[in-house]
Amino acid sequence: NTPLMPWFFIASGWSSGAGLYVLVSAVAGQFIGAPIIYFALAGALACLALWLVYLNDANENFRAALRELRQPVSLAQIVVIGHALPVVVLLYVAVALPEMKNALSAVAGIALIFGAYTQKFGIILRAGYLRAIRLAVPSAPARPTTAHEVTLHN
């Protein structure tokens, strides 16, 4: 892993949280104002920027491990649908007719959540970072099980 990961997960949480807020507001019929639009835009752009830096790490072995995430399908899902689409839609929401704002906001919210989900899915499963968890448990010497073994060990 890389030192960028904590920042990426913060930005990803920011982006998906903003997406969830935008989606719930749209479904509830609440108009999202400029501060929420800017907050969601900033989250999407921060997450996208960190993602692109992450994918283009200078370490060749790391880049090889992430090859799957740089394929066209992955890039289309994460970069285009999960980040560029919500940015464009949110910018349009800022100037859209009032009757279109909730539907467009719902699309942007779903796309933001989808983008964050596919990023995390890609890191954990497609890039091969799913590892077993190992606990450091000290091992005790084996105990004798029969009376004969007890006399031999004493």
Per-residue model confidence as pLDDT tens digits over 61-83: 778 878 888 889 888 999 999 99
Note every long-range contact of 46-50, with CB atoms under 8 Å and residues 24 or more positions apart, other chains counting.
46/11, 46/14, 46/15, 47/8, 47/11, 47/12, 47/14, 47/15, 47/83, 47/115, 47/116, 47/119, 48/79, 48/83, 48/84, 48/87, 50/4, 50/7, 50/8, 50/11
pLDDT digits (tens, 9 = 90+) for 17-52: 999 999 999 999 888 888 999 999 999 999 999 989
Percentages of the chain per state (helix, strand, coil), in multiples of 5: 75, 0, 25
The larger pLDDT score, comparing residue 128 to residue 132, is at 128
pLDDT at 2: 77
Range from 1-10, 101-110, 120-129, 145-154 carrying the lowest mean pLDDT: 145-154
Q: Look at residue 3 in the predicted model and tell me its pLDDT.
A: 81
Name the band, by pLDDT with cuts 50, 70 and 90, for residue 139: low
Q: What average pLDDT score do residues 83-98 get?
A: 88
Q: What is the chain's mean pLDDT, rounded? A: 82
pLDDT(108) > 90 = yes
